[in-house]
Structure formats: structure tokens, C-alpha cells
Amino acid sequence: MTTKFSEGVVAESKRTYINKLAQQGTRIDGRGFDDVRPIKITTGYIPRAEGSALVELGETKVLVGIKIEPGEPFPDTPDMGIMTTNVELVPLSSPTFEPGPPTEEAIELARVVDRGIRESHAINMEKLVIEEGEKVWVVFIDMHILNYSGNLFDACGIGAIAALATAKVPAERHGVGEDFPLPVEHYPVPITFAKIGEWIVADPNLDEESIASARLTVTTNEEGMINAMQKGLFGTFTYDEVKKVINRSLDIGKKVREIILGDINGEEN
Amino acid sequence: MGMKADFKLIDDNGLRIDGRLPNQLRPLRMEVGVVQRANGSAFVEWGGNKIIAAVYGPREAYPKHIQDPNRAVIRARYNMAAFSVDERKRPGPDRRSVELSKVISEALTSVVFVERFPRTSIDVYIEVLQADAGTRVAGITAASLALADAGIPMRDIIVGCAAGKVDGVVVLDLNKEEDNYGEADVPMAILPRTGEIALLQMDGNMTYEELTNAMDMAIDAAKEIHELQVKALKEKYRGDEHDY
């Protein structure tokens, strides 16, 4: 069985090797089970966009661009701005990605990132009203995958919040007052885990993701609240495993958030 | 989720707007074998939800490129009827139903002995005729009944159930108002025999404590729902003795 989020066919010898390493408490790239690959964030990479972040999570590379434009509010939320999220699995980034309309993998990925940001109220949508019921700011979060090497959920989630936190609302260009920073008030961070045999590792790389039986993403914010979860793939988790994963994601999420905030603030200085 | 209510969702006695206790399910009715042409089918009425599921297969998978030489491919399609919600839903797949179809397909694959039917597809069609919150878990509950009715070998009959948080209280099985104005929703699919979790999603704002309370509630309720599934299956197949 091959899916979009895998290397394609994985050699049986590699499968056995990864399992053997897991038994010894280590991983194919030498990490511990809770270690996340090195994170590098470059904000403001696309000056043409209202906000942007190039995120490298190990070899995985994602570019997130934020565009902000005036638009009509939804009838049931006349006093709130709008946010939309989209992922492009750009075919240049993996042999398993093909051109064409969004696949179910891309849709799921975008929706999981969307839920983390939306449910944590990361953006204060009430501050994005130009004229109540008539005109509000629409925030477009577009995520381009530039190199697929495992765990796009976390790379996209990290990129989205970093890009949002450094975005400016282009009010002047649209003749509705002065530009102002996008009101970002919370910092949700998704941490994804892969189940390999009976072991569960954080931030799976390409090899690990290719042989994982199940996947679980948990998005938490800086207050220690849980904002989103998504289980994927054909395997199952025990309840005990789920509880442990949630706790681990709270811990790892805290460390990753510090890296994100450090990088964002470094950019501003 | 997320809209602000100008009314209380939990009253002074701790009861919900439909009079339920926090850990109480809505009325639930199941029937097996409702679509004549299908290999298996089921109807679930759960609160205001009316959902029908039908299974076709295992049959040769088309288009051919989706065939897997080692196993059956389970293709679930979650679809809402245009008239199932207050404001007409545009027919056809939207992003939400694409995501739900994916996670439901994955959850069902975890219980079916797919390796027994290489190169085939098992098509599971879930039609939401009327929606009243919790449609994906009701749909999964119906789908696993339909798979059982089709005689497809499975290691368990999967159960869908959701819990969440409204007005700061952890509650089981959210209704429409609670879903719209509540603070969190945790849809799950559970294997009742082993307690394994095959589907797990969550959105909202919950502490670890609240979240585990909600999951505890859903896992407990899964046993009750599973009994109803078994009863519905027996109902149909008890009748068969007299047919021969």
C-alpha cells in the first residue's frame, strides 16, 4: 500500500531496520522518540505577500504565504473577519505528488492546520471588521510544499503561525486607514506522532512516515489547552497511547513554540 | 463550534437544552438490510440524524490503478443530501466531506480483513438524509452495521460516538445547538471488543482533564451503542430462520 505521504515502496530491510532501532530506543536519524528535527524559520521570505514564512523541518521544506484582502463577511458572522486555508502539494516536491486539483491528502492537511488556528482563536477575528456586515478582512493562508521529507502537518502548522504572526493588514493599499499588524493572540503548535510497531515517535521523517501504521496530530496552545486532534492511517491507537501522545505533544509543543517565537522576534529586531 | 449563544446550554439543574444529562445519549434506533440491491445496508436514526449506509463489494476495483495486489481498498463516501441541513447544501463533495470520507475509510480499514480480498474495492456509501450534529459518528456506526450485514469479515463492529464541551461542561453526544455554540467536539470511532481507537478528531478548546473526561464518556457510551448494533443485526437474521 502506498499513499501520497510515503516514499512509495519501502524496502523490507529498511522496515526491519527501523523497527529494530525502535526496540533499542533510537531512530534511523539518531533522534530520541520525542526529538523534533532541527527547525529553521525565515519570515518575510516573500515581501510581496502580507506575511510569509519559509520553514525547514529537517529536510522538509514548506513556504507559507499570507494574503489579506477586503471581502464580504459570512451572513452568520457579520462582525468577524474570514480565514481560509489551502495546501498545494506542489509536484516538484515529491515523486508521489501530481499536478491537478487538491487531493484528499492536501484537503485533510489544510483542514487540520485550519482547525488549530481557528479553534485556538489565534487571530482575533473581531478586529478584522472594516464595516460590520458589509466589509471585513479575509485572511488567505496558502501553504506550498517545496520539499516533502515527512511530517507536513507540523511543518505547515509551524509555518502558518509564523507567517500570520509577522503579517500586516494592508489597509492603506485599500484606502481604509493605516496598515496594522495582524492581531495574532495565540500560538497553536501541532505535533504529529507516528506509530511504528508498538512504538510512537514524534515528528516522523520520510522513512518513518512511509512505514507508520497510524498517525496522530495534537495541536496545543501556549496556555496548555488542546485545540485540535486528527488521527490518520489504517492502524489504531489504544486509549492509553492517545493519552500519552497528548501529554507528549503538550511538552514538545512548548519547546517548538519557543523556537517559533524566538525566530519571529529575531526577525522583527 | 465557536458561535456565541445568547441562551444557556446547561440549565441550573445541570440538564441540557433537550433535557439530557451530561453523559446521556440521544434516542438511537438502528435497522439492518434496508437497501435491497446492496450487499449490506443499515439505517441509523440518532437524535435528529437520519443516515443510511450501503456496502457494495468486495468487487473488482475500478479504475484499475487503485487496485492493491495485497488487499482490498475500502472507499467510503460520506455525502450530505442538499436538504439535510437548514440552509441548502450544494450537492457534491465539498472539502469537509472529502476529509470525512478519508478518515472514515481509514477507520473502517482498521477492522476489515482487507488482505483476504486483493485487487478489490469495498465501496461504502453513507448518505446523510437529515443532519443533527454527530453525522460522521452516526455514519460510521451505520457503515459498520452495513459491512456486517454484507458478511464482510471484520475483527470488530466499529462504533462511532462523540463527546465535547458546552458551557464549560463535558457532555456526551452533542446535538445541533451544542455543536454550533459549544466549545469543543471530539468525534471518535472505537473497537468495542478491544477499546482501540480507529478514528479520533477534535476541535475546540479543552484542558487535558476535560479532553480525557470527554474521551472516557465516549468510550463508555460505545458499549451501549454496540449492544444496539448487535440487537439490530440479530433482529434481521433471526427472521431468516423462517424463510427457509
pLDDT of A9 reads 74
Comparison of pLDDT for B244 and A190, the residue scoring more: A190
Q: How near does any CA of chain A get to the CA of B105, in Å?
A: 8
For B35-42, what is the mean pLDDT?
98
C-alpha A94/C-alpha A4 separation (Å) is 9
Give the pLDDT confidence of B167-192 residue by residue, as tens digits: 999 999 999 999 999 999 999 999 99
Question: Nearest chain A Cα to B198, which residue?
Answer: A236
Cα A150 from Cα A142, distance rounded (Å): 19
Please name the residues in contact with A65: beta carbons below 8 A apart, sequence gap of 6 or more.
A46, A49, A51, A52, A142, A144, A163
| Helices (H) then strands (E): counts for chain B | 4, 9
| Distance (Å) from the alpha carbon of B230 to chain A's nearest alpha carbon | 22
pLDDT recorded at residue A266:
76
A3 interface with B at CB cutoff 8 Å: no
Minimal CA separation from B232 to chain A, in Å? 26
Q: Which chain A residues touch B71 with a CB distance below 8 Å?
A: 1
**Non-local CB neighbours of B240 within 8 Å, separated by 6+ positions:** none
**B interface mutation test: which of A114, A219, A220, A229 has the most B CBs within 10 A?**
A229
> Is the Cβ pair B103, A108 closer than 8 Å?
yes
B204 touches A at CB < 8 Å: yes
Taking alpha carbons only, the member of B148, B160, B130, B143 closest to residue B54 is B143
Q: CB distance B211–A246 less than 8 Å?
A: yes
Say which DSSP state B204 is in: E
At A42-80, the pLDDT tens digits run 999 999 999 999 999 999 999 999 999 999 999 999 999
Per DSSP, B26 falls in state P
Per-residue buried b or exposed e for A139-176, using 16+ beta carbons within 10 Å of the residue's own CB: bbbbbbbbebbbbbbbbbbbbbbbbbbbbebbbeeeee
Cβ–Cβ contact B219 with A under 8 A:
yes
Burial B152-171 (b: 16+ CB within 10 A, else e): bebebbbbbbbbbbbeebbb
Q: How would residue B241 be classed by pLDDT, with cut points 50, 70 and 90?
A: low
Option in A104, A216, A234 nearest B200 (CB): A216
DSSP state of A264: H
Contact A226 B195 (CB under 8 A): no
Residue of B nearest to A77 (CA): B3
Domains annotated on chain A, with CATH: 12-268 (3.30.230.70)
| 3-state helix/strand/coil string of A140-180 | EEEEEEEECCCCHHHHHHHHHHHHHHCCEECCHHHCCCCCE
Mean pLDDT computed over every residue of chain B: 95
The pLDDT tens digits of the residues spanning A88-145 come to: 999 999 999 999 999 999 999 999 999 999 999 999 999 999 999 999 999 999 999 9
pLDDT tier, A269 (very low <50, low <70, confident <90, very high otherwise): very low
Q: What is the C-alpha to C-alpha distance for residues B55 and B122, in angstroms, rounded to an integer?
A: 7
A238 inside 8 A of chain B by CB: yes
- Taking an 8 Å cut-off on Cβ atoms, the answer to whether A216 and B198 are in contact is no
pLDDT (tens digit per residue) in B216-240: 999 999 999 999 999 999 999 886 5
Provide the CATH topology of domain B28-235.
Answer: Ribosomal Protein S5; domain 2 (3.30.230)
Domain extents in chain B: 28-235
Closest by Cα among A2, A37, A252 to A149: A37
For B104: left if phi > 0, alpha if psi spans -120 to 50, otherwise beta; the answer is alpha
Contacts of A250 in chain B (CB under 8 A): 208
User: Is there a contact between A76 and B3 if contact means CB atoms under 8 Å apart?
Assistant: yes
If you measure CA to CA, which chain A residue comes closest to B71?
A1
